[in-house]
Each structure stands twice: as structure tokens, then as C-alpha cells.
Amino acid sequence: MSMHDPLDAGRRRFLHTAGALSTLGAATPLAMSLAGVGAAAAQALPADYRALVCVFLFGGNDQYNTVIPADTAEYDVYRGARAGIAREAADLVSLGTVASQGGRPFALPKELAPIAGLYEQGKAAVLANVGPLVVPTTKAQYRNASVPLPPKLFSHNDQQSVWQSSAAEGSTVGWGGRLGDLLAAANGAPTFTAVSVSGSAVFLSGQQILQYQVGTGGPVTISALSGSPFGSSAAAAALRQILTSGRAHLFEGELARVTGRSIDAAAALGTALAGAPALATEFDAANALARQLKMVAQMIAARGSLGARRQVFFVSLGGFDTHDNQLTTQPGLHTTLAAAIDSFYKATVELGVAANVTTFTASDFGRTLTSNGDGSDHGWGAHHFVVGGAVRAGFYGQFPAVALNTDVDVGSGRLLPTTAVAQYGATLARWFGVPDGSLADVLPYLANFSNRDLGFLG
């Protein structure tokens, strides 16, 4: 079997195709060459705006209690395997029958009713059994370890990193950052290409692009640089001079440069947000994910002032490691998730960019079909949602039989993925504007898979 090695050919090709940002201080000949490639890719983009928004569900969302078979026979198998943690049929919202899955009927738990509503409107899709894969893998190959497998399966930190970067914990470059490397040259202010409202995320780290971290209330600033600290109007200017003036020492000089860039970026973003139209769409202030997505919407509203044409955002919600108390914990998390995504989609409609913004979920891994008595344990493949005006509603990928000892059960109902994260990401990246020839540079394992477009985006 011929297998692609992303640490060799993929990385080598990346040096020829990924964009770079000279505005971020990359001044080497290689960086300047990469910047030229990025500029060429950006020039080929249509003259529109597009944003990708990753909603990461930290802890490993239980997919079996997220998308549920609704025919009587399969539901009974599901309920029997999930003794003590199955959702009751009366608490489900129907999605109807799905032609792409053999006419099988499916449902969501009632807490996800807003997403079911988006699905009915044709604005949401379900991607079935997706997870990290190096190559297409069968159950026998997994058991015999006869093909390369993702590193450190079932480990929270490592699988979070593998989802976001194709490598285990310690990776420094993610595929969201690679998207930024390639297309940031389309933006008037490349600093705002890759934006996290949820702290540092390897997903947004590129070879050249730097992720910009913002709070739910706006840019994070140095408070003493505004107003009259210490009762002196000149104190702020003096403090800025101290913080940003050049230094002979390499590390001190770099710190001063980064600090100056941060101050300038915060000022530019603050001005842009202040001048953007106020959002009429309501976001629940008590909903942590909604607060993050509201900031994303506000930045999208300010895209003109920021000179943005391509942006990648990262937001997150934690608490999905439901080894216990699953029936009390997960429904509340689903309520938070669905309400936040619904408000965000409505905000994109209000801003006239619903077809230009695609929101997608990701998580560490799925979970076991079997119950441990009060919860479920670490798994592998899982089901995810994609929402936006460009989405083709429906189910994509292969929804597995909800049963034990199937061809995709690698133990206790842990799903062997039938769709790779690389294929998921490639579908998003193609819509975002990445040329077909550069997709495998963004997603190193993609060269091992024949299908690079799953079809859920128009």
C-alpha cells in the first residue's frame, strides 16, 4: 500500500504553497517567497467575504445521545445498549427520514430543537461518524495495526490536538492557521485573519499567521495606556514608549515589537467595533458560548473597516466529558450549544452574510455506545453539525448501525470513523477558497483519501 507521509511530502509541498505574512515580521527570503504565493492565491479569490467558525466541544461530545435513530427496532437496540443513559423517545425532535441513509428516520434530543429547526430550513447538515484517520482504515487493520493510526487515541489532550492540527499534543500548527497562511494576503489587516474568542488554540496557529485572541467584550487592552494613569495625561504615552521602544537584546526587542503590535491591533479593532452597526439579534448574556459567538458576529459586522475578506474563528464550550451524570449534564450543554448557534445564524442573516459564514462543530472524540452506569467513556468517531446559508441540508457520510459488534465497532461501541477529519476540513477549505492543489498542504493526510468534497456546502 502506498501511503502519504505528511511529515515528508506534505510538509515539503507546504513550503511551496502556503501563504505568509511579511506584515507580521517575517523578513527571511523564504518567508517573502511564501508571501508571494499567498498573494497569488488571494488574487484568485472571488471578491466576496467568507468566514469559517469552529465550535469546539471540549471533553468529547456523546454522539449517541446527539443524533438518535428513530425507527422502533433500532431505537430499542440503542436503548438497551445505553441502560440508564438513553434518551426517552418522548424527548426527541424528529428530523424525518433521510434518503442518503437508506430512508432511515432520525431525531435530535429536544434541547437541540433550534438546530433541528435550522435543518428543516435547509441551513444545517449532519456529518456522520467523522474522526481523525491517517488512511482509510478497516476494523481488521485497526486491530492488527497494519496501517498508520492517529497518535494516542482516546486521550483528551492529544485528540483535541489531532483534530485541530493532525498531530498529537505539542503540535504548533493547525489547519485553521494553515488556511490563514494561504489566504491572509486577501485581507487588508492580516492580523485579524485567525481569531480566537476562547484563548489559545493550536487550530489557529500557522507557519506565519499569528492567531489574534479577543475577549467576549472586545480586544484585550493594557488599561494603563488609556486615560490619565497616576493622574498624569503624559503617563500613558510614557508607558507606551517604555513598553515598545527598541532593545538591543534579541528577546527584549522581540517583546517590545509584539507588545507594540498588540497595542496597535487592539486600537484598530476597538475603533472598527465602535463603528460597526449594532446587532439587533438577541444573544443570551448568561450563555458562555453565545457571548463568544456574539463577538464573532460583531467582528464580522466590522469586516469592512478591518479590510477582511477571509477569516477563521475559534470558539468553544467545555464540560462534555460525561463519564457520569450524563443525563443531567449533556442536555444542559446541548441547550447552550443550540441556542448560541441559532442566535449566531440569525445574526448572520441580519448582517446579510448568512451564505458567507459557515459554522461547524468539532470535539475530542465520540463516546462508547455502552453505558458505564451513569455515563459513557472515551470513543473515536462522532457526528457533527454544519450550519450556514451555504449548507446543503441533509446527512453526509455513513451513519452506522447503532449496535454492538459491527464492522465499525472497535470496542464497546466506539466508532471507527468512516469519514476523516481531513475530508471534513477539505470540504470547508474548498468553500473557503483554497485551490484544489493546495488542500493537502492545509490538511496533510488528505492525500490518502480520494473524496475531497463531501458535498455539504454549495
Query: What is each CA distance from 39 to 23, 184, 300, 443, in whole angstroms?
Result: 13, 8, 22, 20
| All cell numbers assigned to 65 | 445521545
Note the pLDDT of residue 229: 76
When pLDDT is averaged across residues 64-83 and rounded to a whole number, the result is 96
Decide: 42 and 302 in contact? Cβ < 8 Å. no
pLDDT tens-digit readout, 343-356: 999 999 999 999 99
Tell me how far apart the terminal alpha carbons of the chain are, to the nearest angstrom: 34
DSSP 8-state code for residue 317: E
Cα R_g (the chain), whole angstroms: 23
Q: How many CB atoms lie within 10 A of CB 288?
A: 18
* Placement of cell 449532519 in the chain: 126
Reference 349, options 176, 92, 83, 121; nearest CA is: 121
Q: Is 155 exposed, middle or buried (0-12, 13-18, 19+ CB in 10 A)?
A: middle
Q: Beta strand 92-98 with 104-109: parallel, antiparallel or unpaired?
A: antiparallel
Decide: 197 and 296 in contact? Cβ < 8 Å. yes
Instruction: Determine the Cα–Cα distance for residues 313 and 289; give it in Å rounded to an integer.
Output: 13
Note the pLDDT of residue 39: 62
> How many contiguous H segments (helices) and E segments (strands) does the chain have?
14, 12
Note the pLDDT of residue 314: 98
When pLDDT is averaged across residues 289-298 and rounded to a whole number, the result is 98
Helices 288-301 and 250-275: crossing angle, nearest 10°? 80
pLDDT tens-digit readout, 360-395: 999 999 999 999 999 999 999 999 999 999 999 999
Instruction: Determine the Cα–Cα distance for residues 272 and 35; give it in Å rounded to an integer.
Output: 26
Decide: 268 and 297 in contact? Cβ < 8 Å. no
Q: Is the pLDDT confidence value at 246 over 90? A: no
Decide: 378 and 368 in contact? Cβ < 8 Å. yes
Note the pLDDT of residue 423: 98
Query: What is each CA distance from 5 to 145, 149, 221, 441, in whole angstroms?
Result: 17, 12, 42, 12
Instruction: Determine the Cα–Cα distance for residues 52 and 58; give it in Å rounded to an integer.
Output: 19
- Residues 6+ away with beta carbon under 8 Å from 80: none
Decide: 364 and 347 in contact? Cβ < 8 Å. no
Angle at 206 between CA 200 and CA 209, to 5 degrees: 90
Q: Beta strand 382-388 with 124-131: parallel, antiparallel or unpaired?
A: antiparallel
Query: What is each CA distance from 309 to 23, 49, 208, 306, in whole angstroms?
Result: 17, 4, 18, 9
Decide: 57 and 33 in contact? Cβ < 8 Å. no
**Sorting pLDDT into bands at 50, 70 and 90, what band is 34?**
very low
Q: How does 248-270 read in b/e, with b if 16+ C-beta sit within 10 Å?
A: eeeeeeeebeeeebbbebbebbe
When pLDDT is averaged across residues 25-47 and rounded to a whole number, the result is 56
Which percentage of the chain shows pLDDT scores above 70? 91
Decide: 197 and 292 in contact? Cβ < 8 Å. yes
Using DSSP's 3-state secondary structure scheme, residue 63 falls into helix
Reference 55, options 315, 435, 343; nearest CA is: 315
- Residues 6+ away with beta carbon under 8 Å from 90: none
Q: How many CB atoms lie within 10 A of CB 312?
A: 30
Note the pLDDT of residue 172: 95
Note the pLDDT of residue 36: 54
When pLDDT is averaged across residues 450-454 and rounded to a whole number, the result is 96
DSSP 8-state code for residue 224: G
DSSP 8-state code for residue 7: I
**Sorting pLDDT into bands at 50, 70 and 90, what band is 188?**
very high
Q: Is the pLDDT confidence value at 3 over 80? A: no
Q: Is the pLDDT confidence value at 45 over 90? A: no
When pLDDT is averaged across residues 124-132 and rounded to a whole number, the result is 98
CATH topology of domain 6-11+50-221+290-448: Alkaline Phosphatase, subunit A (3.40.720)
Q: Beta strand 357-363 with 50-57: parallel, antiparallel or unpaired?
A: parallel
**Sorting pLDDT into bands at 50, 70 and 90, what band is 35?**
low
Instruction: Determine the Cα–Cα distance for residues 418 and 434; give it in Å rounded to an integer.
Output: 24
Angle at 316 between CA 38 and CA 427, to 5 degrees: 45
Tell if the pTM clears 0.95, that is, is over it.
Answer: no
Instruction: Determine the Cα–Cα distance for residues 20 and 189; give it in Å rounded to an integer.
Output: 13
Using DSSP's 3-state secondary structure scheme, residue 203 falls into helix
Q: How does 231-246 read in b/e, with b if 16+ C-beta sit within 10 Å?
A: eeeeebeeebeebbee
